[in-house]
Structure 1
């Protein structure tokens, strides 16, 4: 059943937007209101908890019930790990989780706060550098909250980082923890899912070998975030020489990723120049996040620290003297 506007879920959530499966994978989603507040509601198409009148043998139904219980336990464990985040922050946490249906079967539902997102979610690269870098900084800050609470997202992509207008700025909020795991959690490779476009090489290899290689860690999120920051800053993911669909494919075959550069106009001549010091430094950071060896990638604390330093040095002080100092400091590092 696909819920439509006006339907009521679990006797309390009144649907305000028809449910659909756009970008939802094995889910349907829509909006619903409860006690005067509107929420984002996700309906999981699988697993389905079999009711007393569900088809199949009792043994088969019990197996499905056990699978459902494990699913629920994992969802609640992630929620517990993120409980310290509260609501309204950089991590959009679950506020309700339940199963609902009839005597034939019940689907699981997840409820989160509704975020009024910016129309620029796909066009961060079109913002002026100051605003662009601020989005990148807040995205790193959101991931830092996850990693500080022992959560590995494993499905970071632009669709799972919402952009919200806040005091004239665009800030990032991370959503969708359906594929997330807790640090140190042992889980079969067949249950690890995500978007292959943003897989780290070790995550892709772990899945391809059915779990025979080491499981992904927080550093896998760093690789995914590196691809996203590249899009935010340049408008494109890294370039790859050769016939490869995904970045991880190229890296696993010994190819290098090329971070696009940003051309800016010279104030003196008006011509386009490539050696923009801020661009060089940001591309250097992104490149470190995309290293093949996950141990050589910075952790999220270092990523956020570097972005914060670049933002503070470059934009909090707007005097010509400080801008010149920024240029000299960055050039001295090259």
Structure 2
């Protein structure tokens, strides 16, 4: 069932926008007003798993197995929410405010309710902003991920659609959403529950899936790779160049190729060559370090944040060698 405007969910949420499909058909989403507090929220309905009711098809043994799977799914969602609660509401992370199952005697779907975020339309054109404004957006995106990593949360599905850009005091700031694939650091997760966009897979994420879990599971450094691809888009307007033999960045990296980052599209040309400033070089170098094959050699999110913050405040890295060595990550 796809909810339409005016429908009431769980005797509590009045739908204000017809539900639409998302994430390749794994869920539906829309907006609804909580009739108790009058606020409008983002509501997501999971199409799977479905908690079987008394009249659900199948034998009792089969239904109990599905109930156990649903209970495991619910525990994971609540565990992530508990970790997210330390991040605070209204900040750089859009947290869940309600989670429940609702349906009938045939079966119940799970629903997740989150804060509604009013976003700007700048997510696709951040690269056209002046450098300092671009750096500010990047800094807020990095800061949001730093909050997650500090609280032991690995997102595992970072992509532009999951980083909303919101207007705040005349500036554009990033907010991270969608923690359906997230895990607590060190938590094991079945391969079939690892979902995401292959465009933003890290090499180890892709390898873990392709080997059906025989290689090490992705960790925080997987988020660093995905964020590197996003920051490349924010800074230059596109992802790294790939030859015709590769569809995704992780494929090229796994094949031993170094990703070639484009120059910012907003730069003017001089005698047929693109002008590159020292700031461009430093930002591209940082992104390049986020996109290397070895997770251990990628910077931590705190290091990425420190360098972007310095570039935002000063325009370039310090010329003094000792000061620069303190700031730049050692690889």
State which drifts further: 20-29 or 275-284.
Answer: 20-29
Would you say the 8 A contact 1:95–1:111 is kept in 2? Answer: yes
Task: Call closer, same or farther: CA 1:305–1:107 in 2, change over 3 Å.
Answer: same
SS at match of 1:67: helix
Residue 6 of structure 1 is matched in structure 2 by 6
**Counterpart Cα distance in 2 of 1:53 and 1:184:** 39
Number of residues of Structure 1 aligned to a counterpart in Structure 2: 321
**Counterpart Cα distance in 2 of 1:304 and 1:155:** 20
1:12-46 C-alpha deviation (Å, 9 max, x unpaired):
10000000104464000000011211100000000
Residue 308 of structure 2 is matched in structure 1 by 307
Residue 297 of structure 2 is matched in structure 1 by 296
Residue 287 of structure 1 is matched in structure 2 by 288
Residue 154 of structure 1 is matched in structure 2 by 156
Q: CA deviation at 1:61?
A: 0.6
- Is 1:329 aligned to 2:319, yes or no? yes
Would you say the 8 A contact 1:138–1:172 is kept in 2? Answer: yes
State which drifts further: 103-112 or 235-244.
Answer: 235-244
SS at match of 1:18: strand
Among 72, 91, 94, the residue aligned to 2:93: 91
1:157-206 C-alpha deviation (Å, 9 max, x unpaired):
00000000000000000000001111000122222111110000011011
Residue 261 of structure 1 is matched in structure 2 by 263
Residue 30 of structure 2 is matched in structure 1 by 30
Would you say the 8 A contact 2:92–2:176 is kept in 1? Answer: yes
Would you say the 8 A contact 2:51–2:108 is kept in 1? Answer: yes
State which drifts further: 19-28 or 171-180.
Answer: 19-28
**Counterpart Cα distance in 1 of 2:49 and 2:142:** 32
Task: Call closer, same or farther: CA 1:286–1:327 in 2, change over 3 Å.
Answer: closer
Residue 182 of structure 2 is matched in structure 1 by 180
SS at match of 2:276: coil
Task: Call closer, same or farther: CA 1:22–1:75 in 2, change over 3 Å.
Answer: closer
Residue 40 of structure 1 is matched in structure 2 by 42
Correspondence 1:219-238 to 2 at 5 A: 219-238=221-240
5+ unaligned residues in a row in structure 1: which ranges? Answer: 315-325
Among 81, 91, 107, the residue aligned to 2:83: 81
Would you say the 8 A contact 1:277–1:327 is kept in 2? Answer: no
Would you say the 8 A contact 1:278–1:330 is kept in 2? Answer: no
Would you say the 8 A contact 1:240–1:255 is kept in 2? Answer: no
5+ unaligned residues in a row in structure 2: which ranges? Answer: none
Q: CA deviation at 1:84?
A: 1.1
Q: CA deviation at 1:264?
A: 3.2
Which 4+ stretches in 1 moved above 3 angstroms? 22-25, 263-266, 269-273, 326-334
Task: Call closer, same or farther: CA 1:63–1:22 in 2, change over 3 Å.
Answer: closer
Residue 100 of structure 1 is matched in structure 2 by 102
Q: CA RMSD in A?
A: 2.1
Residue 136 of structure 1 is matched in structure 2 by 138
**Counterpart Cα distance in 1 of 2:191 and 2:112:** 24
| TM-score computed with the length of structure 1 as normaliser | 0.92
Correspondence 1:170-209 to 2 at 5 A: 170-209=172-211
Task: Call closer, same or farther: CA 1:271–1:218 in 2, change over 3 Å.
Answer: same
**Counterpart Cα distance in 2 of 1:75 and 1:285:** 33
1:110-135 C-alpha deviation (Å, 9 max, x unpaired):
00000000111111111111111111
| TM-score computed with the length of structure 2 as normaliser | 0.93
Q: CA deviation at 1:242?
A: 4.0
**Counterpart Cα distance in 2 of 1:330 and 1:234:** 28
Residue 56 of structure 1 is matched in structure 2 by 58
Q: CA deviation at 1:272?
A: 7.0
**Counterpart Cα distance in 1 of 2:155 and 2:215:** 19
Would you say the 8 A contact 2:81–2:96 is kept in 1? Answer: yes
